[in-house]
Amino acid sequence: KQKPGPHVALLPSSGMGHLTPFLRFAVSLAQEDVQVTLITTHPTISHAESQTLSHFFSNFPHITPKQLNLLPLKNAGSDNSEDPFYLKYEAIRQSSPLLKPLLSSLSPPLSALVTDMSLASTVIPVTQSLSLPNYILFTSSAQMLTLFVSFHTIVGSKAPNDSDKTEDFFQTPGLQPIPKSWIPPPLLSDTPNLLKTQIIENGKKMIQSDGILINTFQTIEQDSLGALNDGKVVNGLPRVIPIGPFPPLHIEKSQSIAWLDDQPDGSVLYVSFGSRTAMSREQIRELGDGLERSGCMFLWVVKERKVDREDEGELGEVMGDGFIERVKGKGLVVKNWVNQEEVISHKAVGGFLSHCGWNSVSEAMWNGVPILAWPQHGDQKMNAFVVDRIGLGLWVEEWGWGGGEVVVKGEEIGEKVRDIMGNELVKVGARQVREEARRAVGDGGGSKKGLIEVIEVWKK
CB closer to ligand BUP out of 357 and 402: 357
Site residues for ligand BUP, window 19-38 (CB under 6 A)? 20
> Per CB under 6 A, does 340 bind ligand BUP?
yes
CB neighbours of 99 closer than 8 A, spacing ≥ 6?
Answer: 11, 68, 123, 126
In sequence order, the β-bridge partners of residue 160 are none
Build a one-symbol-per-residue string for 244-273: x at contacts with ligand BUP by CB under 6 A, - elsewhere.
----------------------------x-
**Rounded to whole angstroms, how far apart are CA atoms 141 and 381?**
11
Active-site residue (options: 42, 79, 83, 116): 116
**Rounded to whole angstroms, how far apart are CA atoms 352 and 273?**
10
CB closer to ligand BUP out of 340 and 367: 340
Cβ neighbours, 10 Å, residue 171:
13
> Per CB under 6 A, does 337 bind ligand BUP?
yes
Helix and strand numbers (H, E) in the chain are 19, 15
Please name which of 77, 16, 48 lies closest in space to residue 337, comparing C-alpha atoms: 48
> Per CB under 6 A, does 276 bind ligand BUP?
yes
In sequence order, the β-bridge partners of residue 353 are 271, 372
Per-state percent for the chain, helix, strand, coil, to nearest 5: 45, 15, 40
> Per CB under 6 A, does 138 bind ligand BUP?
no
CB closer to ligand BUP out of 323 and 358: 358
Q: How far is the CB of 123 from ligand BUP (least distance, A)?
A: 18
One of 6, 15, 133, 244 touching ligand BUP (CB under 6 A): 15
| CB 341, CB 252: distance < 8 Å | yes
> Per CB under 6 A, does 198 bind ligand BUP?
no
Clarify whether 116 is annotated catalytic. yes
One of 18, 88, 93, 427 touching ligand BUP (CB under 6 A): 18
Stretch in the footprint of ligand BUP (CB under 6 A) among 13-21, 68-76, 148-156, 188-196:
13-21
**Rounded to whole angstroms, how far apart are CA atoms 12 and 245?**
17
User: Parallel, antiparallel, or unpaired for β 178-179 and 169-170?
Assistant: antiparallel
> Per CB under 6 A, does 360 bind ligand BUP?
yes
Q: How far is the CB of 97 from ligand BUP (least distance, A)?
A: 26
Clarify whether 55 is annotated catalytic. no
* Residues carrying an active site annotation: 18, 116
Provide the binding-site residues for ligand BUP, judged by CB under 6 A: 15-18, 20, 272, 274-276, 301, 337-341, 357-360, 363, 378
